[in-house]
Structures are given as structure tokens and as C-alpha cells.
Amino acid sequence: MNNKEPKFKKKFKFKIPTSFTILFAVLIMIMITSWILYYSGVTYNKPGKNETDPSVPTVITGIGIVDLFVSIFKGFEDKVEIIVFVLSIGAFIYIVMKSKSLDALTQKIAWKFKDKTIWAIPIIVIFLSFCGSAYGMAEEALGFHMIVIPLMLVAGFDVFTALITVLLGGGIGPMLATFDPFLIFTAADAANSQAMDGLIFRLIAWVLVTGFTSGWIMFYARNVKKNPQLSYTFSTLEEDKKFFLKEQINEVALTKKRITISVIFLVMFLIMIAYLFPWDELFKTTAMKDFGNWVNKYIPFLTGLVPGMGYGDMFIVAGFFLIGSLIVAILNWEGEETFIEDLLAGAKDMIGVAFIISIAGAITYLLKETGIQALMLAGIKNSNIGNMNPFLFIIITFLLFIPMSFALPSTSGFSSAVFPVWGPLAGSISIGSTGTNMISGSITAFAYANGMANMVSPASGIVVGAAQIGRTSYGTIIKGTWKFHLSLFIINIALLLIGTGLNYTGSHIF
């Protein structure tokens, strides 16, 4: 008698590759393309050493396997400024989060509105949206689910209300990127553009869409409270109450120290904004430059090297965040050794992002060194793309970037890989006689496309994480939010068209 258990074949389950794999696959594609072009004898016009030196027809350079790995560190060298900035801001955020200041602040606000909980929804949405817009917080918002779910259930709402408050509030933030260093700064750097271009428009869009999102969630919550059967999680309502309300939520005290740290957290981002914003360019003056020179000359014990506001770079802002980390650590002092460990732990959390930026930089490096980039740019220049209607261009950009964002969800990786080529393309689109280009508009379109993709993708951590924490399914979340996403899609298109129209004023509003 055969007692052996029957063997079952393990079903193959497709898994979306990581950003590292996708980017490295692009490097391999560049290598293979270089072989094809090299052996085909394709040439490009290599620029001369100066303006008087004519371009020289040069054969595309073929590259090998070793070049792929070396190029990663060449990419690191090229992107070192933004990598240092990312590591510094990662350390700062880690030290702030360890103090539990933001947890305490959010919890305090939520429980303050316990009797009028529905009004806690816009506050939580605004907070999460601001964090996402300012520095790209997305997956980090998952921890707020366990604070918001019991609050909503006690108030007579459902789990779904809590889930979409955190999911949509945290999801629209990166989509409405204003100063997100992982999106705005990397894309602007890759496109050789100014990160502050289009800032005013992005801020206005943040206010409008955040308000719309808050209203949409409140409308659902109000209807569910009146008629619980309208809930998308009605079938598990009683089980949800038993499960989540028996969980003890440890109260995090909002002490004076934590209030101070929360203020410092906000102030650091305001300093970053104020310092990088081109004030002199906006007001046609040299006041900030002159003030910076005055400080260097007369207050050298503060700084003798850092220029005035609007004239620095991300190395300097990274230094500001390092100072912020030290101040927060002193307020929450646990010893010199612990501070160094926290600093390194926070930076370590960003190593993956730094490596992605390096690989994306490698793509730019190889495209440039092989001559493929020059060939592509020549094709763009010789095409009729510069005469394309700006309104049509921005919509095509948005629609094209949505599927690309599903394939490459990393904002820093996408920005560094795509915008070295897309930047010049968008720069060739002029707005009438004003000469205003569409680079910053393209960056905004990318933010919208990437944000929308990450809020619906089955591979997105914020979506599947919310489903798992809320003990529901991905399908239920999509079923309950598809109308919101459709509305958001229409709103985004409208905003892009309006922004493009505003550029006809001659100011780089969009």
C-alpha cells in the first residue's frame, strides 16, 4: 500500500520585478542597442570642444557587461548631490519618528474630535497629504491605520472609512508633490531644470485636491453612519468591532518636548522651501544675494561659505537637515552613541533609494557615453515635436506616464531615468511667443500619473498594506474607490490643461 502523500505542483505566481531589476534591465537593453547600432555603423554628431569647433560624425560606442556595473558608480558620482540630500533627510525623518512626536500629535487631534469624529477626517487627510507632498511619505502612513480604525468604529463609522482616510490622504500627497525631494528635485535635476518652477501652481492644486479628497471621504462617512448597510465592509462590521476595539491603543502623550519636535519638523521643511526658492529671480532684485554676502562677511561664525537664499544647492540643504537631526536628538537625548546609531539607521533606510538613483544615473551615463542620447535628441530636434500643441503634449505626457509608472513605481528611479531625455523634449515645446517651456509641467504630469498609479496598483504597498491591516481585500478597496479615482483622473486632466493655459501669461506658473 502506498502511503506517500500526493505531490501537488506549485502554481506559478507572477511577481512584479523590483525597481532595481527593471532599471538594470534597461541597462542591458542599452547595451544590446549599442551593439546593434555599433555594428550597423550608425553615427551621431559629436559636439566639438567649443562653439567654434564643428561637430564630428562619430560611430555609436558599443559597451560591454563590465561597463554596466561600472556605470552604476558613475551614476552615483553624477547624482551624488541628490543622494547626499536623500540620506540626510532620511536620517532626520527617522530621528523625528523615533521621538513619536508625529504619532502623539495625530493621535491627540484624532481623539480631540472624538465626539465630532467626522471633522477629524479632513485634519488627518491634510496632515498626511502635506507629509506626502513635502517629502514623499507614503508607506510610512500605514502605521496611522491602527490609530484611525478604532476611532472611526467608536464614532459609528466603519473600517472602510478609516482605511480610505489614511489610504487616500496618504496617497494624494506624493501625487500632489510640491517639494518632494524624491520626485520634484530628482526630476528637475535630471531635466536640467529648476525645482521651484511651477511651485505656485502645485501649491494651489494641493489645496484644491486635498479639499476634494476630504469632502469625498466625509460624504461617504456621513452616508454610512446614517445607513450602515451602505458600507463596503458591512458584512464584517460586528467582527471588525470585536477585533479592533479589543485592541488596546497605547496612548502617546503629547508632551511639550514632542510639540517642540513637531514644530521643528515643520520648520525644517519651511527652511528648505524658503532657502531653495529663487526670491531674487521672482522679485527682480539682488537682496537675498547681498544679504548672504553680508552674513558671510560680518557673521562668519554663523557661516562664511553658505550663499543667500535661492543661491544654494542640495548639499547645503542636506546640512540644514543634519543640524535639524542634531537639535531633535538633543531634545530627545539618549546619549551620543545612540544619536550616531539613529543617524546611520535613518540614512540606511534610504540606501535603497540612493542605489536606485545611482542605477538611474547609470542609464543617463551610458546613453550619453554611447552617443545614443545625442542620437535621440537629434531625432527629437529634427522632428516636428517642437510644433506640437502644448495642450496636446501635456495630456499625452500624462497618459503615457501612467502605464510607465506601473512598470517603474519608484519616483526617484523614474525621474532619473526618464527626464534626461524627456526634459529636452518638453523644453522644445514653447508656449506661443512667451518662450515658456513645458518642463515643469511635465514633472507635474508625472507626479499626477505616478500618484494615481500607486493608489490603485495591486503591487503598491499602501494599497495592499491597507487591505491587510483592515482585514479586507484589494478588490473591496478598488470597488469602493473607483469613482474617486475616476473623478481624480478628470480633475488632473483639467488641472494640467489649466496650468498649460496659465503659461501663456508669460510667467512660469505651471
The whole-number average pLDDT for the span 8-28 is 68
Extract the C-alpha cell encoding 403: 502605464
Q: What is the sign, positive or negative, of the torsion defined by CA atoms of 76, 82, 85, 90?
A: negative
For residue 18, what pLDDT is reported?
65
The whole-number average pLDDT for the span 1-9 is 53
Cα gap 173→130, rounded to integer Å: 6
Cα gap 231→160, rounded to integer Å: 7
The whole-number average pLDDT for the span 249-278 is 81
The whole-number average pLDDT for the span 44-70 is 80
215: confidence class by pLDDT, cuts 50, 70, 90: very high
> Mean pLDDT across the chain, nearest whole number?
83
Let me know: does 370 contact 61? Beta carbons within 8 Å.
yes
The whole-number average pLDDT for the span 261-269 is 86
Q: Over the stretch 376-432, which tens digit does the pLDDT of each residue have?
A: 767 766 666 667 889 999 999 999 899 888 767 778 778 877 888 888 888 888 776
Burial class of 257 by CB neighbour count within 10 A (0 to 12, 13 to 18, 19+): middle
Closest CA to 261 of 208, 328, 180, 177: 328
Q: What is the sign, positive or negative, of the torsion defined by CA atoms of 278, 282, 288, 290?
A: positive
206: confidence class by pLDDT, cuts 50, 70, 90: very high
Q: Is the pLDDT of residue 49 over 80?
A: no
What stretches of 176-302 show up as alpha helix (H) in DSSP? 186-190, 199-226, 237-245, 256-276, 279-283, 287-298
Q: What is the sign, positive or negative, of the torsion defined by CA atoms of 126, 458, 228, 150?
A: negative
For residue 250, what pLDDT is reported?
63
3-state secondary structure of 328: helix
For residue 248, what pLDDT is reported?
47
The segment with the largest mean pLDDT, out of 18-22, 54-58, 482-486, is 482-486
Let me know: does 308 contact 291? Beta carbons within 8 Å.
yes
Give ∠ CA 328-329-335 in degrees, rounded to 5.
165
For residue 207, what pLDDT is reported?
95
CA 11 to chain centre: 35
User: DSSP secondary-structure letter at 59?
Assistant: E
Cα gap 275→261, rounded to integer Å: 21
Cα gap 242→226, rounded to integer Å: 21
Q: Using the structure block, give the residue that is written with the C-alpha cell 499625452.
A: 396
Out of 7-16, 107-116, 317-326, 401-410, which region has the weakest mean confidence (pLDDT)?
Answer: 7-16
Q: Is the pLDDT of residue 219 over 50?
A: yes
- The more confident residue out of 122 and 26 is 122
- The more confident residue out of 103 and 187 is 187
Closest CA to 420 of 347, 469, 357, 465: 357
382: amino acid identity, one letter:
N
For residue 17, what pLDDT is reported?
66
Q: Using the structure block, give the residue that is written with the C-alpha cell 505542483.
A: 9
Closest CA to 409 of 363, 463, 361: 463
The whole-number average pLDDT for the span 346-350 is 83
Total residues found in the chain within this entry:
510
Cα dihedral 392→390→213→487 (10° resolution):
-20
Q: Is the pLDDT of residue 495 over 90?
A: yes
The segment with the largest mean pLDDT, out of 29-33, 57-61, 424-428, is 29-33
The segment with the largest mean pLDDT, out of 19-28, 66-75, 425-434, is 66-75
Q: Is the pLDDT of residue 343 over 70?
A: yes
Extract the C-alpha cell encoding 52: 567654434
For residue 53, what pLDDT is reported?
61
Cα gap 175→206, rounded to integer Å: 9
Q: Which residues contact 370 (CB under 8 A, 6 or more apart)?
A: 30, 34, 37, 60, 61, 62, 63
For residue 211, what pLDDT is reported?
95
Q: Is the pLDDT of residue 505 over 70?
A: yes
CA 350 to chain centre: 13
For residue 311, what pLDDT is reported?
86
Cα dihedral 24→30→32→35 (10° resolution):
-150
Q: Is the pLDDT of residue 2 over 80?
A: no
User: DSSP secondary-structure letter at 387?
Assistant: G
Q: Is the pLDDT of residue 360 over 80?
A: no
For residue 269, what pLDDT is reported?
77
CB atoms within 10 A of CB 329: 24
For residue 66, what pLDDT is reported?
95
